[in-house]
Structure 1
C-alpha cells in the first residue's frame, strides 16, 4: 500500500504552514483538549498517534482555501473541520502501517507495534467516530467527511486490485486522484464551505501524491535499494507508469524477483526526469485553477509551490 511517509518528511527549510502559525497553534490546542477528554482506554494511543510529528499539510490546506475565498479570519468552524481532516488522515496512517507491517513512522514506533493490533484498530474506529462528532452541526461538512472515508476505502481497493498491472499515466491519475486527491478535495471544500475550490484540491492532491512517488524512488536509490515497498507490492506510482512504457520494464514489474526489483529500481530512477516534468505540469494546472477561481490566490499558489518541493 502506498504511504505518504516520504512527503511527510519535508525537506529542510520547507515551511508548509507559512502564514498560519496562529491557526496551527489553535489546532494543536484543540487536538490536545480532545485527547485529554478521550476515553482512558484509548487516550494513551491517541496521544501516541498525535505526538506532534505531523507537518499539518492538510489543515494548512483547509486554512489556505478559506482565506483565499473569504475575508473572514479562520475561526472555530475551520479549526474543527481541520481537526476532523487530521483525524481522518491519522486513521488512514494507522491502517497503512498495519497493512505495510511498518514498525516505525518518522522514527517513532507505529501505534500497532507500540500497543498491539487490536487496540490500534479499535482506536482508529474511535477516532473515526469523533471526526464525525466534530462536524455534527454542519451537514455539508458531515457529507464531506463521509465522502472522504468512502473514497479512501474504494481507492485502496482499486490500488490493490490493480497491483502488478502495467498501466499508464492516465491510470495513475485516476488512482492518485482518488487516493490523495480525495483528501485534498475534502480540505478545499471544508475550508470554503462549498465546492468552489474542489478541483484545485484535486490537483493539489495529485501533485502531493506524485511528489511522494518521486521522493520514494529517490529515497530508495539513496539507500542503495531500501524502501521498496511499492515495488514489492506492485503499486502503480508515477515513475513506474512512465518506466513501464518499455515492454521489458513492464515484464519486470509484473514478475518481480530480488534481482528484478533492483533492475526495476534503476529503470524508475531513469524515469525521474520525465516524472518531474509531469509534476511541473500538474503544478501549473493547480496554479491556473487557483487564479481562475480564488479572489486572493496568493496563499494557494504558495501552497502549490511548497508542495512541489516535496520531491526535492
Structure 2
C-alpha cells in the first residue's frame, strides 16, 4: 500500500514550507487561539488537500517553478479545512480528531468556535491578498458550501427517506467543494487554458467524493484506533451515509431502528450489524471506484510529469484505504 509520504514526494519540500508558514500566518497575538491552531496543525494530518493544490500547481506549470501565490493558495486551503474541522467537532460533540483531543475538548466550546471563526477570517484575508478575483470567488464559494453541507446534514438527521443523490450533494458541499475549487484555483493561478482549468475542477470534485464515500465506509469497517474516533459514530449521530442508504433498500427493520433514534438498548449495535450484513458496503465501494476512475480520467489532458503521476496514484491510494 502506497503511503502519503511517498505519494507526495514531488511536493514534499513544499509541504514542509507550508507547515512552517501556517504557524507563522496565524501569528502569536492571541495566545489561546495560537495554542488551539498549533494543536491542530501539529496533529497527524495527511495534508492531502494542500498536497493536491501543490501537485495541480506543479502539473499545470511543467518546467516552471510554482509561484508564491500557489503556495499561499495551498496554505489557505489547509486553513479553511482546519477551520471547518474545528466547527464540525463542536457540532458533532466529538472528543477525538485524528486520535488526539479536539479543540473544544481541550479549550472549551467558546474558544473552539472562535478559533474556527478566526481561521476562516484569516484565510479570507489572505485570499483577498492573492489579488485574483476568480480565485477569491472560488474559495469564497467553498466557505458557503461548507456551511450549506453542515445545515443539510443537521436537517436530515435520522431521515430514512434521504436519496443517494442528496447524500452526494451534501458530500460535495462538505468535502469535495474545497478540493474541487482549490484545484481549479491552482490551475487559474497557472494561467492554464479554460478546458484544463475545468478538468482540474472535475478531478478535485470526483476525488473528493471518493474520499468522503470511503470515509463513510470506514465508519463501519475501520477500527476506532485507525479512525481516531469511535466506529459507527456517524450512524449514532443520525448522519445517514451511502452504506446505510443502500442497506435501507434491503433491510426493512433498519428503518425502524433509525426512526426511533436507537432509543432501546442494543439498537445501534443491531443497526451496524444489519448494514454490514447486506450489500450496502459493497455498493458503496463500487460508487467510490466510479468516482475515483472519473477523477483520473480528468488528468488525461495534463502533460506527463511526476506531479501528474502522483495525482493518478492518489486515486489508487484512496481506494487502497478500503482493503
Q: Which TM-score applies when normalising by structure 1?
A: 0.87
For residues 210-289 of structure 1, what are the structure 2 equivalents within 5 Å? 210-219=213-222, 226-246=230-250, 247-257=252-262, 258-270=265-277, 271-289=280-298
Mean Cα deviation higher: 59-68 or 296-305: 296-305
From the superposition, tell whether residues 76 and 40 of structure 1 become closer, same or farther in structure 2 (CA, over 3 Å).
Answer: same
- Distance (whole Å) between structure 2 residues aligned to residue 119 and residue 221 of structure 1: 27
**Contact 1:88/1:149 (<8 A) preserved:** yes
Pick from 299, 303, 312: which aligns with 1:290?
299
Pick from 177, 180, 184: which aligns with 2:179?
184
2:119 match: secondary structure: helix
Give CA deviations for 1:185-221 in whole Å, capped at 9, x if unaligned: 1221222124441121110110000110011111269
Pick from 37, 41, 46: which aligns with 1:46?
37
Give 1:151's aligned residue: 145
Give 1:115's aligned residue: 107
Pick from 163, 173, 193: which aligns with 2:157?
163
> What is the CA distance between 1:157 and its match in structure 2?
0.8
Q: How many corresponding residue pairs?
A: 300
Give 2:315's aligned residue: 304
Pick from 127, 134, 143: which aligns with 1:140?
134
> What is the CA distance between 1:132 and its match in structure 2?
1.4
> What is the CA distance between 1:13 and its match in structure 2?
3.7
Give CA deviations for 1:160-208 in whole Å, capped at 9, x if unaligned: 2122222332232222122211111122122212444112111011000
Quick check: 1:60 aligned with 2:51? yes
> What is the CA distance between 1:37 and its match in structure 2?
4.7
Give CA deviations for 1:22-75 in whole Å, capped at 9, x if unaligned: 110111121132244543452222222211422101001101222232213333
> What is the CA distance between 1:245 and its match in structure 2?
0.8
Q: Which runs of 5+ in 1 are unaligned?
A: 1-10
Mean Cα deviation higher: 134-143 or 148-157: 134-143
2:219 match: secondary structure: helix
- Distance (whole Å) between structure 1 residues aligned to residue 293 and residue 85 of structure 2: 29
For residues 199-210 of structure 1, what are the structure 2 equivalents within 5 Å? 199-210=202-213
> What is the CA distance between 1:278 and its match in structure 2?
2.3
- Distance (whole Å) between structure 2 residues aligned to residue 38 and residue 21 of structure 1: 29
> What is the CA distance between 1:12 and its match in structure 2?
8.3
- Distance (whole Å) between structure 2 residues aligned to residue 78 and residue 250 of structure 1: 47
- Distance (whole Å) between structure 2 residues aligned to residue 220 and residue 99 of structure 1: 23
- Distance (whole Å) between structure 1 residues aligned to residue 209 and residue 59 of structure 2: 20
Give 1:23's aligned residue: 14
Q: Which runs of 5+ in 2 are unaligned?
A: 189-196
Q: Which TM-score applies when normalising by structure 2?
A: 0.85
> What is the CA distance between 1:150 and its match in structure 2?
0.3
